[in-house]
Amino acid sequence: MEKYIVKGGKPLKGEVYISGAKNSAVALLPATVLAKDICILENVPDISDIRKEIEILKEMGAKVRRISPSVLEIDTSTLDTTTVPMELGVKFRASYYFLGSLLSCYGKGSVPMPGGCDLGARPIDQHLKAFMALGAEYDLDDAMVNVSTNDLQGAHVFFDTISVGATINAMLAASMAKGTTILENVAKEPHVVDVANFLNTMGADIRGAGTDVIKIRGVEKMHGATYTVVPDQIEAGTFMVAAAATRGDVMIKNVIPEHLESITSKLRSTGAIVEEFDEAVHVIGVDEYNSTNIKTMPHPGFPTDLQSVMGVLLCLAKGTSIITESIWDSRFKYCDELNKMGASIKVEGRVAVFEGVDSLRPAPVKATDLRAGAALIVAALTTEGASEITEIQHVERGYVDIVKKIRALGGDIVKVDIPENDYLKKAY
């Protein structure tokens, strides 16, 4: 069993290069289905979710070649099925993006119900609402979602709730529908814009991504394209908080500062120093942090994917801080793990109250989900002593070379597959 051993107490210092956005890339790979051609995707993060999607594409008949660790060549002209294999698709949530692409391109598609991190219910009702508005039908059969249509027609869709997944799936489905589709109450996250830009590069006609209304004029055919994935907003935010929490000094490169405004604002409110440049942010930690309150919101609000990491800093801030989670209903499982490390956190439903402590202590903890795992790494980096983090497969779903990047900043972290007692005796 693999685990991380983290020996904290050292401030992170130096430069770190941010990889391509996980949340964008997992939608771009299914989008290549629409091309029936060769697409080249650059700055693709080499993470387990992407490797799973590559397996799916290959199982469906596509040809995928890794030109370099971050560049993929994908030929979907040889696709020979519209069914995503159960054993692969059930493993992660983003497999549902194949529904929109397959429906648009082939008029039908079958995908397992979404998996991924256990963050509570992950309904796809808004996805299905969009598909039905466009003229599709669906049924559920043995944990598979099956969609089909005789003819997709443009439609007016108003989403009941803001959903990144539903917004992207609707764009995929509508790209080759006849006529014009208008999507309202849509998600505005950077990866939504990235998917729209990629689709347009393939020949789609999508306008308004990043605003409240997206207009899609259906096209008859799309084609291959070369496209570069945007930098990962969440990875960048993770390293920003890690720099602050360890009282470090880190230049975070290959970022779009505008995507980071909410985390930059909250870090500054705690007292951390954040300097912005054209494609970089510089974070300098301070001796004492102020408490602050956070409410997760759809973009441009504070991202839910960063609340657990930010929670680590609030553990170390003076006074009382409150995090209100408005997106997922089971996102505070990491708080129990932080409490094992000496934090003082009380959770009631979707609200967590953080009472600042002088320091955290090392402890054996487990990653309950992807972002919780990142938070525990940051927490362990602040402690004096060695911590063990298990269930690290969650972390490696979303972070490229996280061990290597942290070590390059002076952090003491290793991945091991031996009993921690043996390792601790040998290493520490």
DSSP string, 16-78: EE--B-HHHHHHHHHHGGGGSSEEEEES----HHHHHHHHHHHHTT-EEEEEETTEEEEE-TT
Q: Among 235, 382, 209, which residue's Cα sits nearest to residue 306?
A: 235
Contact 222, 202 (CB under 8 A): yes
Both ends of the chain: CA-CA distance in Å?
20
Positive or negative, the CA dihedral 249, 250, 251, 252 is negative
Q: Helix, strand, coil shares of the chain as percentages rounded to 5?
A: 35, 25, 35
Residues paired with residue 251 on neighbouring β-strands, in sequence order: 15, 282
Is 117 labeled as catalytic in the residue annotation?
A: yes
Find the catalytic residue in 39, 117, 315, 335. 117
Strand, coil or helix: what is 133?
A: helix
**What whole-number distance in Å separates Cα of residue 423 and Cα of residue 390?**
14
DSSP string, 291-329: --EEEB-STTSB-GGGHHHHHHHHHTSBSEEEEE--S-S
Q: Is 172 exposed, middle or buried (0-12, 13-18, 19+ CB in 10 A)?
A: buried
CA distance to 25, 89, 95, 314, 330, per residue, from 41 (Å): 9, 21, 18, 38, 33
Contact 136, 99 (CB under 8 A): no
Non-local (6+) Cβ contacts of 173 within 8 A are: 99, 100, 101, 103, 104, 130, 131, 134, 136, 152
- Helical pair 333-340 and 370-382, crossing angle rounded to 10 deg: 20
**What whole-number distance in Å separates Cα of residue 190 and Cα of residue 197?**
11
Non-local (6+) Cβ contacts of 361 within 8 A are: 341, 342, 383, 384, 385
Residue 200's H or E segment, with its range, is: helix 190-201
Q: Helix count (H) and strand count (E) of the chain?
A: 14, 23
List active site positions: 117
